[in-house]
Amino acid sequence: MQLRLYDTLTREKRAFTPLDPNNVRMYVCGPTVYDFAHIGNARPVIVFDVLFRLLRHLYGDDHVTYVRNITDVDDKINERAARDFPGLPLNEAIRKVTEQTANQFHADVDALGCLRPTVEPRATDFVLPRADGKADMVTLIKQLIARGHAYEAGGEVLFDVQSMPDYGALSGRKLDEQLAGARVAVDAHKKNPADFVLWKLSSENEPGWESPWGRGRPGWHIECSAMSAAYLGNVFDIHGGGLDLIFPHHENEIAQSRCAHGTATMANYWMHNGFLEVEGAKMSKSLGNFVTIRELLETDRFGERDWSPQALRLTMLKTHYRQPIDWTVRALKESEETLQSFYNEVKNVSPGEHSPAIEAALCDDLNTPLATTELLRIWKSNRDPEVLVGSLKFLGIDLSANSTYISPVRRAIERAKSKFEDLEGKVKRSIADRAAARARKDFKESDRIRDELAAIGVVLKDGKDADGKPITTWEIAR
């Protein structure tokens, strides 16, 4: 089936033709690891996982390279490290923060049914020239300076936007408009206010690497130019991320990569997911509607959770990736009900072939809302459990992952069982206390314990066991 994708750069939906069908190459900007991922961060991860699965199906599992980086150098990370591990040397504290956060991120997105990318490079491994000769940030910056696209000023190396005639093509911003824009800080050392940082000097208590421009650290954008080139080459097929990354991040990645390599393009398809809002409002810590993936998947002491990860994923897929999503409890409940009705009928079925209608929907610029309605339509019309399970799997929804999908019925049984075990423990302890009270002839206490149990509906019966020893059994009062 012919895949068609919308390209933000050319603003059109086009047939997708990979540069090399034996190695389809995709780069997606990954998380900055300093805090739990929120449900908005889960959106690009799920969207590009659907695309990764589709590409693997179309071109073969071994013919797709998906790179998603981990940003482990960022001033927010430094602040978090100093706050959470004040006693440790900064580098150690930073490592703790980034490792913990990356592990949390993996656990969260694994639960959401996302395949791990082919490679997951960390920015800090690509700052300096590498033993394996893969692209690195310092070498890229040197190339930009050598080709007249970057200059050193005021303790920084800056990209010279005026050296690139079509700078701004992705976001559609013209340079003269940007001059007037208040968003770009006007710094006296810059040739042009839109010039952006490739390298900046670090103070002693900031992480830094020795470079030709002094001990410093990279600007935000250069890492993705280095890591994409390292694994995918100077020009590759698909570059993705959230809408907010179009400017400045992706615009600047394009500028750096094209100018350093002297190429006309960086990636052939630029894909951006829309934003997620919660109950109609922008998600923010101050509004108190900031929801992490972890919170949504949290279990109580009965192992009960409000939502299954599969329902989170289905909810995400019901909206087209380029549209905004309004994340609501109502939508989650609906998904949970749909999955429950499937689960009751297919829990032990192994996946068959997925439905061609669902593949066709995905091939049309990842039309996941159509794919999910097709899922329901097919199920209603043919009730073929193998096709249903195969189609769900094609969308990355695995109901057999029972450890994660807990049917509400099973949950209720487990909860009841767990409550019974709690009760049983308490009664046994009370019976032992009562036997001890009776042995020391404290009948007031033994009666008190009997009444206490009676009050919660437990009746004690004193008798004798096979050897004639006194024994107390219990039952729930009828």
Catalog residues that contact ligand AMP under the rule CB under 6 A.
29, 31-32, 40-41, 43-44, 241-242, 244-245, 273, 275-276, 283
Q: Is 263 left (phi over 0), alpha (psi -120 to 50) or beta?
A: beta
Nearer residue to ligand AMP within complex by CB, 45 or 135: 45
- Count of residues interacting with Zn ion (CB under 5 A): 2
Residue 414 beta carbon to Zn ion: minimum distance, rounded to whole angstroms: 43
Nearer residue to Zn ion within complex by CB, 224 or 392: 224
Residue 224 beta carbon to Zn ion: minimum distance, rounded to whole angstroms: 3
Q: Report d(CA 163, CA 161) in Å as an integer.
A: 5
Nearer residue to ligand AMP within complex by CB, 3 or 29: 29
Nearer residue to ligand AMP within complex by CB, 63 or 106: 106
Q: Are 46 and 358 in contact (CB under 8 A)?
A: no
41 binds, among ligand AMP, Zn ion, none (CB under 5 to 8 A by kind): ligand AMP
Nearer residue to Zn ion within complex by CB, 29 or 226: 29
The residue from 29, 150, 232, 297 that contacts Zn ion (CB under 5 A) is: 29
Nearer residue to Zn ion within complex by CB, 29 or 278: 29
DSSP bridge partners of 272: 241
Residue 384 beta carbon to ligand AMP: minimum distance, rounded to whole angstroms: 35
CB atoms within 10 A of CB 462: 13
Q: Which residues contact 411 (CB under 8 A, 6 or more apart)?
A: 302, 303, 304
Residue 43 beta carbon to ligand AMP: minimum distance, rounded to whole angstroms: 4
Q: Is 465 left (phi over 0), alpha (psi -120 to 50) or beta?
A: beta
Q: Are 7 and 14 in contact (CB under 8 A)?
A: yes
Residue 242 beta carbon to ligand AMP: minimum distance, rounded to whole angstroms: 2
Q: Are 427 and 458 in contact (CB under 8 A)?
A: yes
Nearest to 378 by CA among 409, 405, 352, 411: 352
Q: Report d(CA 475, CA 158) in Å as an integer.
A: 79
First to last CA, the chain: 65
Position 224 contacts Zn ion (CB under 5 A):
yes
Residue 308 beta carbon to ligand AMP: minimum distance, rounded to whole angstroms: 21
Position 28 contacts Zn ion (CB under 5 A):
no
HSE-CB at 171 with a 13 A cutoff on CA atoms is 20
Residue 1 beta carbon to ligand AMP: minimum distance, rounded to whole angstroms: 27
224 binds, among Zn ion, ligand AMP, none (CB under 5 to 8 A by kind): Zn ion
40 binds, among Zn ion, ligand AMP, none (CB under 5 to 8 A by kind): ligand AMP
Nearer residue to ligand AMP within complex by CB, 58 or 70: 70
Q: Would you list the DSSP string of 333-376?
A: HHHHHHHHHHHHHHTTPPP-PPPHHHHHHHHBT--HHHHHHHHH
3-state secondary structure of 191: coil
Nearer residue to ligand AMP within complex by CB, 232 or 316: 316
242 binds, among ligand AMP, Zn ion, none (CB under 5 to 8 A by kind): ligand AMP
Cα angle 6-7-9, degrees, rounded to a multiple of 5: 155
Residue 8 beta carbon to Zn ion: minimum distance, rounded to whole angstroms: 14
Residue number with the shortest CB distance to ligand AMP?
242
| Residues of this chain that bind Zn ion (CB under 5 A) | 29, 224
